[in-house]
Chains A and B, each alone.
Chain A
Amino acid sequence: GAGVSQTPSNKVTEKGKYVELRCDPISGHTALYWYRQSLGQGPEFLIYFQGTGAADDSGLPNDRFFAVRPEGSVSTLKIQRTERGDSAVYLCASSLSRGRGNTIYFGEGSWLTVV
């Protein structure tokens, strides 16, 4: 596809459950990012991948959050033991490569609701 694709678009889960969110970046983009956006706020950085490796995971809030990108393309954000405070829109983005000035394109997001 032409843009960043995220699935599912909406997910409702019970507190304590495990959740996986998938991101398919723009073809040829080596840099991939995950952000989280709470209602009324700007996106907050979670993690950045360059190729297969997590080059910067300083934004992950705690060890319940984990992300992988095993083949350098599709990425999965994994949340264990979900809490109600995890409810947010999880945005994936990609760019041609790392570096200031490379345009970052966002997907439509996965809306997670923890009940």
Chain B
Amino acid sequence: GENVEQHPSTLSVQEGDSAVIKCTYSDSASNYFPWYKQELGKGPQLIIDIRSNVGEKKDQRIAVTLNKTAKHFSLHITETQPEDSAVYFCAASNQAGTALIFGKGTTLSVSS
């Protein structure tokens, strides 16, 4: 089955710096890759997603890149702000499209 690896597990940056989180997946049949942000005591909230027919997608300060050959995808946050501090999860769809397989998460801390 699908396996998703995510790193780093923790990331500390200064306000205004960029942050990059990387994920790899194992199932070449996966073709949907969302990123979720989770704040303490809340459910995961979708921030951006990418489908396999696209190599890059951008939404304001957030961008995601996908390399299907290498089976890895990355989240890029530019001009980080303290409110970006949270746990970020990458995920990949399973082959049947019935479930998302999540990474273990990255705790991002942005200090002002």
Contacts and interface: CB of A to CB of B under 8 A. Distances in A.
B89 interface: yes
A41 B105 contact: yes
Interface stretch (B11-19, B37-45, B77-85): B37-45
B42 A100 contact: no
Interface of B: 4, 6, 30-32, 34, 36, 41-46, 49, 51, 89, 91, 93-94, 96-105
Secondary structure call for the A interface: loop
A25 interface: no
Given A42-B104, A108-B43, A101 B99 contact: no
B51 A45 contact: no
A33 B99 contact: yes
9 contacts: A40-B104, A42-B89, A48-B98, A56-B99, A59-B99, A100-B30, A100-B93, A103-B34, A109-B43
A39 to B, nearest CB: 11
A43 B44 contact: yes
Given A91-B44, A106-B43, A108-B42, A45 B96 contact: no
Contact of B34 (A40, A41, A104, A109): A104
Interface residues of A, number: 24
A105 interface: yes
Interface of A: 4, 33, 40-45, 48, 55-56, 59, 91, 98-101, 103-109
B32 A101 contact: yes
User: Which among A33, A48, A101 has the highest number of chain B CB atoms within 10 Å?
Assistant: A101
Contacts of A55: 98
B46 A101 contact: no
